Amino acid sequence: MSQDQSPATPQRLTPQSEDFSKWYGEVVQRAQLADHSGVRGCIVFRPYGYGIWEHMQRLLDRRIKATGHENAYFPLLIPESLLQKEAEHVEGFAPQVAWVTHGGNKELEERLAIRPTSEAIICSMYSKWIESYRDLPVLINQWANVLRWEMTTRPFLRTAEFLWQEGHTAHATAADCQAEVLRMLEVYRDFVETELAMPVYPGPKSDAEKFAGADMTYSIEALMKDGYALQAGTSHNLGQHFAKVFDITYQDEQGVRQHVWQTSWGVSTRLIGGVIMTHGDDHGLQLPPRIAPVQAVVVPIWRKPEDRGSVLAFIEKVKEALGDRVRLLVDDREQYSPGWKYYEHELRGVPVRLEVGPKDVEKSAVMSVRRLDRKKESIPLDQIATRLPALLEEVQADLFKAAQELRAANTSSATSIEDLVRHFVTEGKRGFVALPWTGDARLEAEIKERCAATLRCIPLDQSPFDGLAPAGGRVALFARAY
RNA sequence: CGGGGCGUGGCUCAGCCCGGUAGAGCACCUGGUUCGGGACCAGGGGGUCGGAGGUUCAAAUCCUCUCGCCCCGACCA
């Protein structure tokens, strides 16, 4: 460490303040989350990035099942005739659909769409399966990939092919249906806030922003560090539109034929992008412990060869003490110095680092360092099994708190469109702006036109905006969005 | 889809304008010394210049087409 002009120093990460997009791309690449595939808009999920998705899946799947849903799998290909049944739906997705036209060398009689979403194929099956009120509700989820021919793409945030889960349910009554829509919206809120430490505003969207073919779309809206909003999940009330065109009916208790009421809801690998932009900093990625493939990394340190054995032996004891309580990586690569590893694992967002050197072995302790603030704490070996998991939970909570504070600092209010224009255009600010809202579609269009900001949602919980709207009124949140 | 930029060892890039048969730094491999915030020395391997076609005695370099990536707009989870 004598010279600071070391030519070996790798390229620094572009700071967020300098160029947020560039920062994002560098983090994705250098943390080895994903790579470009050579196929337009399609990324490769590298093991570390896919590992994050696997933890998300596990934690969300648990919640989906706990609310009574079962997983199933429907085909990737959807016959054109099926896709075209629901007019609004087709119209919404038509520009983004990729088609299979040949089987081998033979041209198909009917083109097959690569699913942009699975309402059509699932509804066609529901019409076969549902006969009686006793068959309801049908509560099915599928984990799948979908393909949408997007104009511009960005890793995770908008890719042509992406991974998601899509829930599709059918109910006997409008009330049951609406209850399901709100239930899953709440599942998403809880999942995203608890596991991803990403605060969100849940609420309905305007007609202009709703899903193609839905009566009503609800979303959870998050705020990224650059002040742009991100739609982090959606829950749609499909009403009876699909039931009517796909002829999904049941006989009620009086023997009367009724159309079912349906919902669909989904979150995607876009959430990975959300995590990157919610928690990442100038040192790189920062993962909430709950979804981190590596929750703590052990970095062995030694000066003299004779220390090597005792350090490694001590690390074995640490591993043994922790068992499977913590997802631990021992970085015993000998070609890198400890300092190099610190940078590396900070870049990759590992929440906690455990330094183990001769001094620690002597004290029978490890030196923990939080990725978030580099706060150090020596943890005795006989306490590691309880202290480290607790420390990880503290980090999880602190990440959420930091994200909440950032959002609070970037949420403001307005009482007129002129306020919005001043905020987004004149002053060039970002973030959420709450505006009293009566549902005026023309005003919404004007705001979009003049501010490039869209109505993100009308928060279900209006309490943070008390007093802004006249008594009995509501506010809507506007933001520029990804 | 419109405007702009860019594809040269794994990465960042030089070479291209003024064609003559490919270079640097980092990374990688081997050996040794190192290791508490990106170590050092010595030796070594690797690219036919995104792809296709054309011009030419000769193409990374000129021309055409095409694919991919990045940025800015319009559309979308």
Q: What is the CATH number of the domain that holds A451?
A: 3.30.110.30
- Residue pair A260/A122 in contact (Cβ under 8 Å)? The answer is no
Q: Are residues A382 and A449 in the same domain?
A: no
Q: Which residue is nearest to nucleotide B35 (CA to C1')?
A: A337
pLDDT given at position A40: 83
| Nucleotide nearest A164, from its CA to each C1' | B77
User: Does any domain span residue A341?
Assistant: yes
| Nucleotide nearest A161, from its CA to each C1' | B77
Average pLDDT of chain A is: 93
- What is this model's ipTM? 0.89
pLDDT given at position A220: 97
Strand B contact with A360 (CB < 7 A): yes
| Nucleotide nearest A366, from its CA to each C1' | B36
- Tell if the pTM clears 0.90, that is, is over it: yes
User: Does any domain span residue A5?
Assistant: no
Q: Which residue is nearest to nucleotide B27 (CA to C1')?
A: A10
Question: pLDDT: is A140 or A90 the higher one?
Answer: A140
User: Does any domain span residue A11?
Assistant: no
pLDDT in tens, A56-113: 999 999 999 999 999 999 999 999 999 989 888 888 888 889 889 888 888 899 999 9
Q: Which of residues 67-96 of A touch strand B (CB under 7 A)?
A: 92, 95-96
Task: Strand B: list positions under 7 Å from protein Cβ.
Answer: 1-2, 11-12, 25-29, 34-40, 67-77
pLDDT band, residue A441 (cuts 50/70/90): very high
A4-8, A12-16, A205-209, A404-408: range with highest mean pLDDT: A404-408
User: Does any domain span residue A14?
Assistant: no
The token pair that represents A416 in the structure block: 């007129």
Residue A429 dihedral angles phi and psi, to the nearest 5°? -85, 165
Q: What is the DSSP string of A119-179?
A: HHHHHHHHHHH--BGGG--EEEEEEEEEE---SS-BTTTB-SEEEEEEEEEEESSHHHHHH
For residue A354, the surrounding DSSP H or E stretch is: strand A352-356
**pLDDT exceeds 50 at position A1:** no
Strand partners for A203: A219
CA distance A471 to A473: 5
**pLDDT exceeds 70 at position A11:** no
Helix axes A47-66 and A174-195, enclosed angle (nearest 10): 140
For residue A10, the surrounding DSSP H or E stretch is: none
Return left, alpha or beta for A98; rule: phi > 0 is left, psi -120 to 50 is alpha, else beta: beta
pLDDT given at position A22: 86
Total domains, chain A: 3
Q: Which residue is nearest to nucleotide B2 (CA to C1')?
A: A151
Question: What residues have CB less than 8 Å from A63, skipping those under 6 apart?
Answer: A187, A190, A191
Amino acid (one-letter) located at A80: E
Structural domain for A366, as ranges: 294-390
Q: What is the CATH number of the domain that holds A26?
A: 3.30.930.10
Q: Are residues A228 and A269 in the same domain?
A: yes
Q: How far is the CA of A159 from the C1' of B19 (A)?
A: 41
Strand B contact with A370 (CB < 7 A): no
Q: Are residues A66 and A202 in the same domain?
A: yes
Question: pLDDT: is A92 or A131 the higher one?
Answer: A131
**pLDDT exceeds 70 at position A8:** no
Q: Which of residues 29-48 of A touch strand B (CB under 7 A)?
A: 36, 38-42
Q: Are residues A338 and A429 in the same domain?
A: no
Percent of chain A's residues with pLDDT above 90: 80
Q: Are residues A362 and A436 in the same domain?
A: no
Q: Are residues A125 and A162 in the same domain?
A: yes
Query: Beta-strand (E) ranges in A38-148?
Result: 43-45, 70-71, 77-79, 98-103, 106-114, 138-147
A8-17, A24-33, A420-429, A455-464: range with highest mean pLDDT: A455-464
CA distance A322 to A352: 14
Q: Are residues A346 and A434 in the same domain?
A: no
